[in-house]
A and B are shown apart, each in its own frame.
Chain A
Amino acid sequence: MRRYVLVRTLSILPTLIGVSVAVFLMIRLIPGTIVEQMIGTEGTYSEQSMRALRAFFGLDQPIHVQYGRWLGQVLRGDLGTSWRTGLPVLQMITSRLQVTLELTLGAMLVALAVGIPLGIVSARRENTRLDHTVRVVSLFSLSIPVFWQATMLILATSLWLDWAPAVDFVSPFTSLRANLAIIALPSLALGTAVAAVFMRMTRSTLLEVMRQDYIRTARAKGLREPAVVWGHALKNSLIPLITVVGVQVGYLLGGVVVTEEVFTLPGVGRLILWAVFQRDYPLVQGTILFVSLLFMLSNLLVDLVYAYVDPRIRYG
């Protein structure tokens, strides 16, 4: 087990390198650079200033030199400086990370708290009215586009309740109440879709597992129903569920972009989007690398739990 932990943890490094190369190339493959945007259509174009700007940003260097320089910086712990704002990339990330993390966590909590119990209930009462209602409702919640849902909520509250969600983000350490008021709605919007996924996954795997032979054996042996469900079935349902949780974290980190955009929360998702449009290479690279690292760490955690739960899984 210890060997597995070590190897699995170290395996993050090559992936991180892979991500750094991928993001480095990807942003450069998208046409347009920051230079043209700075001149714009309103500015005065000149060959000389174009060249000077490109040199200033190091865009005139060969690609491997640019990459090497950036990678060297990163390995020294310096994520660089945003071309657009002049602020350190790390500072821009950390000032917004809190929001994104809170939103992701909030959505995940909502999803787990709502999805899993509903899934269990649905599976246990398979084919009853309750089961069908839960399934239908969860399917509906999956079918509603988040940004549409969110905009309708904002509209409804402003017109009928004369209340608009606050625009300033307040840290939970400053005022927990204000913070929860801000994060509740977006967490709900983002989490309900994932809740539906969890509900369905829990239900389907639980049903499958419960039909397995060893469950029938346990029942035949006279074990009582709750012991059967909780003891055997759920534990074995956990494996695919853990996979899905891991997958959903990745999905959430992406879905967070839309939610942040609609609720205008100052999170990392929106920052990445903006950086891509500005062609602010250091900001794009640094932010995506950072978020990827976070995601990889969460995957690592999932895999380790996975391995703990199912001793048969070992690193190949």
Chain B
Amino acid sequence: MAEALRPLLRNRLVLFGTALILLVVLLAAFADLVAPYDPTEMKVADALKRPSAPHPFGTDRFGRDVLSRTIHGSRIALGVALSSIAIAFAAGTVLGLVGGYTGGWPDLVIGRVMDVLFSFPTLILAIGIAAMLGPGLNNAALAIAVVYAPLFSRVARGPVIAEREKDHVVAAQGLGAGWPRVVFRHILPNVLAPLIVQASVSLAFAILIEASLSYLGLGTQPPDPSWGTMLNEGRTYLETAPWMSIFPGLAIMVAVFGFNLLGDGLRDILDPQLRGR
């Protein structure tokens, strides 16, 4: 692993990304302790106040403290994004690997089902599933997972097909390795790189889809402070109270940026050519 550590500069980026994510995770874990106010406490008299000493991020239209809401929002963002993409990653990758490696009927069936899911515009499918399941965060996460699974399956499948013809794979098969060993030991590492890139990108969009779902009432229920809901609440106040949108927007960017940096770093570390050394 130490040999896999690249020159200092890239390492710094990975560390930075990890630090950002840790920040978000810690905020999520200790939100109650860190946030100065109750995120749902309303003081209508203090509505729409600019950032100042008592409210460093200002207040929203109900007089709620934006800083506290942003901190608590990390819980929802992380929870929904991680759970939905984790499910999508696992389910999609397995399906893509199985289909790509086996070929024939399994590939056909899996491919068709994925194609059908794929053919729905992303947001529409998410809305459809969330509408079927009903409002609430868990259902929103499930909807996002279903929407993104085909993506992972497709990203996994292509390289699998390319990989399975490769010398080292054929060699392993020739040596008598069973398919799980072949798939997970020999193929997966080479497929992992684009998958990880895809995962880190998907995390961002998962947060954004959750925002859209929340706007339509299918995700976070008020007064829970999801960053997406905050962005949408702030949209009509962009001129009068831009801080309502700036800070949750920044929070999203920070979290997503962190994930992307980490994803890049992981990709480098997991590069199979390096592992061998």
Question: Which A residues fall within an 8 A CB radius of B?
Answer: 11, 14-15, 18-19, 22-23, 26-27, 29-31, 127, 132, 135-136, 139-140, 142-148, 151-152, 155, 159, 197, 200-201, 204-205, 208, 211-212, 239-240, 243-244, 246-247, 250-251, 253-258, 269, 272-273, 276, 288, 291-292, 295-296, 299, 306, 310, 312-313, 316
B194 at the interface (CB under 8 A from A): yes
Establish whether residues A288 and B124, one from each chain, have CB atoms under 8 Å apart when the complex forms: yes
Q: Name 27 interchain pairs, CB-CB below 8 A, sorted by A.
A: A22-B120, A30-B128, A127-B10, A139-B257, A140-B253, A142-B260, A145-B208, A145-B231, A147-B235, A148-B245, A155-B238, A197-B201, A200-B197, A240-B158, A240-B159, A256-B121, A257-B121, A269-B121, A269-B123, A272-B124, A273-B124, A291-B119, A292-B119, A296-B115, A299-B115, A299-B118, A312-B165
Q: How many A-B residue pairs have CB under 8 A?
A: 162
Q: How far is the CA of A31 from the CA of B129 in the complex (A)?
A: 12
0/1 per residue, B229-253, Cβ < 8 Å to A?
0010001001100000100010011
Establish whether residues B116 and A18, one from each chain, have CB atoms under 8 Å apart when the complex forms: yes
**Which B residues are in CB contact (< 8 Å) with A152?**
238
B9 at the interface (CB under 8 A from A): yes
Segment of B51-59, B63-71, B102-110, B169-177 engaged in the interface with chain A = B102-110
From the candidates A208, A243, A273, A296, name the one contacting B155 in the complex (CB within 8 A).
A243
From the candidates A18, A143, A201, A257, name the one contacting B194 in the complex (CB within 8 A).
A201
Given contacts A26-B128, A145-B249, A204-B193, contact A257 B204 (CB under 8 A): no
Given contacts A142-B201, A204-B267, A208-B193, contact A30 B132 (CB under 8 A): yes
B265, chain A: closest CB distance, angstroms: 11
**Which A residues are in CB contact (< 8 Å) with B10?**
127, 132
Q: How far is the CA of A258 from the CA of B124 in the complex (A)?
A: 10
Number of interface residues of B (CB under 8 A): 59
Establish whether residues A254 and B253, one from each chain, have CB atoms under 8 Å apart when the complex forms: no
**Which B residues are in CB contact (< 8 Å) with A135?**
13, 264
Q: How far is the CA of A145 from the CA of B92 in the complex (A)?
A: 25
B226 at the interface (CB under 8 A from A): no
Establish whether residues B123 and A257, one from each chain, have CB atoms under 8 Å apart when the complex forms: yes
